[in-house]
Amino acid sequence: MTKLKEKLSFFHVMILTYMIQTGVVVFSITHLEALHFGTNGWLMALFTSLVVLVNLMLIAIVHRMSNGRSIFEILEKSIPKFILFPIYLGLAALWSMIGCLVAKEYVLIFQMYAFPTTSPMVFKVAIDILAFLLVIKGVYNISKASTVFFFSTIWMNLLVFKALDDIKLERLTTFLFKEGGDMFTGFLNIYIAYIGYELSLLLFPYVNKKTKLMKAVMYGHLIRTFFYLMLGIVSYGIAGHNLLKKMLFPLLDLLAYIKLPFIERVENLFYGFFLFTTLITLVMYYWAAGESTLRIFPKLKSSVHYFVIILCSLIVSTVPVALDQVLRVLYLLGCAQIVIAFLLPVILILLLLIQRRKVVKHG
Amino acid sequence: MKKAILCVILCFSLTASGCAADSRILEDLGMVQTTSYDLLPDGMLSITASIPMADPEASAKREVLTVVAENTKNGRIKMSRETQLILVSGQIRNALYGLSMAKKGIYRYMDTLIRDPSISPELKISIVEGNAGELLRKDYDQHPRTGKYIDHLLEKESSWQTIPRVTILSFLRDLFDDGIDPITPIIKDMGNSIKINGIALFQDDRYVAKIPADDTMIFAFLKGSFKEGEINVDLSENGDKKEYAMLSSLVSGRKLKVSYHNQQIKVRCEIKIMCSILEFLGDLEISNEQDRNKLERRISDKLTRKADSMIALLKQHKVDSLGLGSAVRNKIGYANWKKMNWREEFPHVEVENKIKVVIKDFGEVR
Amino acid sequence: MMGILTSMLRKVLFNPLNETNKDQDHNHNEDKPEQNASADLQHILDQFKRSADLIHHRYPREGLDVIYFSHMINEDKLQRDLLPPLLAAPAADIILNEQSQFQQVQNAKDCVTGILSGNAAIFYNNVAYLADVTLPASRSVEESESESIINGPHEAFNENALTNLSLIRKRVRSSHLKVIHLSVGEISKTDCYVLYMEDIANEDYLSELIRRIKNVEIDAIHDTNMLLQCIDDNPYSMFPQYMTTERPDTIASKLVSGKIVCLVDGSPSLLSAPSSFFEFFASADDYYQRWAIGTATLFLRFMALVITVTFTALYVSITSFHYEMIPENLILTLTTSRSRVPFPPIIEALLMETTIELLREAGARLPTKIGQTIGIVGGIVIGQAAVQAGLTSNVLIISVASSAIASFVIPSYIMSAAFRLFRFGLICLAGLWGNLGLVIGIAYMVIHLSGLTSLGSSYLTPVAPFQPYDWRDVFFRFPFRLLNRRPTQNRAQNKTRQKMKR
User: B356 and B230 in one domain?
Assistant: yes
Instruction: Output phi, psi for B30, to 5 deg.
Output: -100, 100
> Would you call B26 and C236 a contact, using CB atoms and an 8 Å cutoff?
no
> What pLDDT score does C14 carry?
47
- What is the distance in angstroms between the Cα of C455 and the nearest Cα belonging to chain A? 9
For residue A151, the chain C residue with the least C-alpha distance is C463
Question: Do B112 and B220 fall into the same domain?
Answer: no
Q: Which amino acid is at C24?
A: Q
Whether residue B1 is contained in a domain is answered as: no
The pLDDT value recorded for residue B6 is: 63
Q: B331: which residues sit within 8 A by CB, 6+ positions away?
A: A174, B258, B259, B260
3-state SS, residue C55: strand
Determine the residue type at C105: V
Instruction: Mutation target for A interface from C439, C455, C459, C491: give the one with most A CBs within 10 A.
Output: C439
CATH of the domain at A224: 1.20.1740.10
Distance from C-alpha of B280 to C-alpha of B288, rounded to nearest angstrom? 13
Q: Has residue A363 been placed in a domain?
A: no
Q: Is A14 inside a domain boundary?
A: yes
Q: What is the pLDDT of residue B20?
A: 55
Task: Give me the CATH number covering residue B362.
Answer: 3.30.300.210
Report pLDDT for A91. 94
What is the least distance, in Å, from the CA of B261 to any CA of chain C? 52
3-state helix, strand, coil in chain A (%, to 5): 80, 0, 20
Select from B6, B12, B27 the residue whose CB has the most chain C CBs within 10 Å, as the one to mutate to test that interface. B27
Query: What Å distances lie between residue A219 and A42, A50, A153, C80, C298, CA to CA?
Result: 20, 13, 18, 80, 31
- Return the pLDDT at B353: 92
* CB spacing of B22 vs A243 below 8 angstroms: no
Give CA–CA dist A257/A270, Å, rounded: 12
Domain assignment present for residue B3? The answer is no
Burial B220-250 (b: 16+ CB within 10 A, else e): bbbbbebeebbbebebeeeeeeebebebeeb
What's at C433, amino acid-wise? W
Q: Which of residues A102 and B73 earns the better pLDDT score? A: A102
Write down the pLDDT at residue B321.
92
Distance between A115 CA and the closest CA of chain C, angstroms: 8
Q: Is B90 exposed, middle or buried (0-12, 13-18, 19+ CB in 10 A)?
A: buried
Across B130-284, the runs of DSSP E, i.e. the strands, are: 183-189, 194-203, 206-211, 226-227, 231-234, 244-261, 264-281
Residues C83 and C57: beta-carbon distance below 8 Å: no
Per-residue confidence (pLDDT) for residue B3, from 0 to 100: 54
- Please say whether the beta carbons of A99 and A91 come within 8 A: no
Buried b (16+ CB within 10 A) or exposed e, B17-28: eebeeebbbbbb
Cβ neighbours for C469, distance < 8 A, ≥ 6 positions apart? C462, C485, C488
Domain, as residue range, for A31: 10-345
Same domain, yes or no: B249 and B167 = no
> Closest by alpha carbon to A128, among C460, C447, C453?
C447
* Contacting partners of chain A (3+ CB pairs under 8 A): B, C
Residue A90 forms part of a structural domain: yes
Tally the domains of chain A: 1
Residues of chain B that touch chain C, judged by Cβ-Cβ distance less than 8 Å? 2, 13, 16-17, 19, 22-27, 29, 31, 33, 52, 54-56, 88, 90-91, 93, 118, 120, 148, 151
| Residue C73 DSSP one-character state | B
Is the pLDDT higher at A132 or at C496? A132
Same domain for B232 and B152, yes or no, is: no
Whether C331 sits inside 8 A of B31 (CB atoms) is: yes
Neighbouring subunits of C (3+ Cβ pairs under 8 A):
A, B
Number of domains in chain B: 2
pLDDT tens across A184-231, in order? Answer: 999 999 999 999 999 999 999 999 888 899 999 999 999 999 999 999
Q: Please report whether residue B325 resides in a domain.
A: yes
d(CA C213, CA C227): 8
Mean pLDDT confidence for A73-80? 91
Range(s) of the domain holding residue B56 = 28-211
Please report whether residue B364 resides in a domain: yes
Residue A85 contacts residue A102 (beta carbons within 8 Å): no
Q: Which residues of A touch B323 (CB under 8 A)?
A: 170
Final residue of a structural domain among B191, B211, B231: B211
* C-alpha closest to that of C74 among C119, C13, C121, C16: C119
Please indicate, yes or no, if residue B39 is contained in any of the structural domains: yes
Per-residue pLDDT for chain C (502 aa), expressed as one digit of tens each?
Answer: 445 545 544 544 444 444 334 344 444 444 444 444 566 788 888 888 888 888 898 888 888 889 998 888 888 888 888 888 888 888 777 888 888 888 888 888 888 888 888 888 988 888 888 888 887 777 888 888 888 888 889 999 999 898 999 999 999 999 999 999 998 988 888 889 999 999 999 999 999 999 999 999 999 999 999 999 999 999 999 999 999 999 999 999 999 999 999 999 999 999 998 999 999 999 999 999 999 999 999 999 999 999 999 999 999 999 999 999 998 888 888 888 888 888 899 999 999 999 889 888 888 888 888 878 887 888 777 778 888 888 888 889 989 989 999 999 999 999 999 999 999 999 999 999 999 999 999 999 999 999 999 998 999 989 988 999 999 999 999 998 888 899 989 899 888 888 776 6
User: Would you state the pLDDT for residue C375?
Assistant: 79
Domain boundary pick from B211, B244, B271: B211
Low-confidence stretches of chain B (pLDDT < 70) are 1-21, 238-240, 366
Interface test with C, best of A13, A150, A269 (most C CBs within 10 A): A269
Please give the sequence-ordered ranges of beta strands (E in DSSP) within C218-343, or none if there are none.
243-245, 260-264, 270-273
Residues B207 and B217 in one domain: no
The predicted structure's pLDDT at residue A363: 57
Measured distance CA(B211)–CA(B219) in Å, rounded: 8
% pLDDT > 90, chain B? 47
Instruction: Measure A310 CA to nearest chain B CA, in Å.
Output: 15
Q: Give ipTM to 2 decimals.
A: 0.94
Q: Is C330 left (phi over 0), alpha (psi -120 to 50) or beta?
A: alpha
Same-domain pairing of B154 and B184: yes
Of the candidates C461, C489, C487, the one whose C-alpha atom is nearest the C-alpha of residue C278 is: C461
Kindly state whether residues B240 and B197 are assigned to the same domain.
Answer: no
pLDDT for the residue numbered A64 = 92
Question: Residue C32: its pLDDT value, please?
Answer: 42
